Amino acid sequence: MQTDTKVKVDQAQDAKGDSITILRFSGDISSTSREAVIGTYQSLSPHDHRQIVLDFSKVEYLNSSGIALVIQVLIDAAKAGQKIHISGLTPHFQKVFTMVGITRYAPLFSDETAAGAAF
């Protein structure tokens, strides 16, 4: 049984004091997660949210439709001039994200601290 996708939006600061927006995903990410993934991203003003970390550490399941939603966020962010870092993926999904080319658009980090420090 699928678990609903939840997203918590948090703020942090990088070493220079610039704002970092963290999207903390939990549950399952699939085709039914469009509003949670893309809707949450689109609710963020590109001017006010220049650096974003996508945190997948609490995601229980992620399928190809969910990966397509992540790719759409990365495309939109690139067009808006935003930087995105990805954290908290399992080793399996680090491999999958690398294989499908996501790492050309967003670097992968083991945890949120490392992702934030790399901006």
- DSSP letter at 103? G
- At 15 the pLDDT is 87
Q: With bands split at pLDDT 50, 70 and 90, how would you rate the model's confidence at 66?
A: very high
Q: What's the predicted TM-score (pTM) here? A: 0.96
| Domains by residue range for the chain, with CATH | 6-117 (3.30.750.24)
What are the tens digits of pLDDT across the range 12-36? 999 899 999 999 999 999 999 999 9
- Which distant-in-sequence residues (6+ apart) come within 8 Å of 36 by Cβ? 4, 5, 6, 7, 25, 29
What are the tens digits of pLDDT across the range 77-113? 999 999 999 999 999 999 999 999 999 999 999 999 9
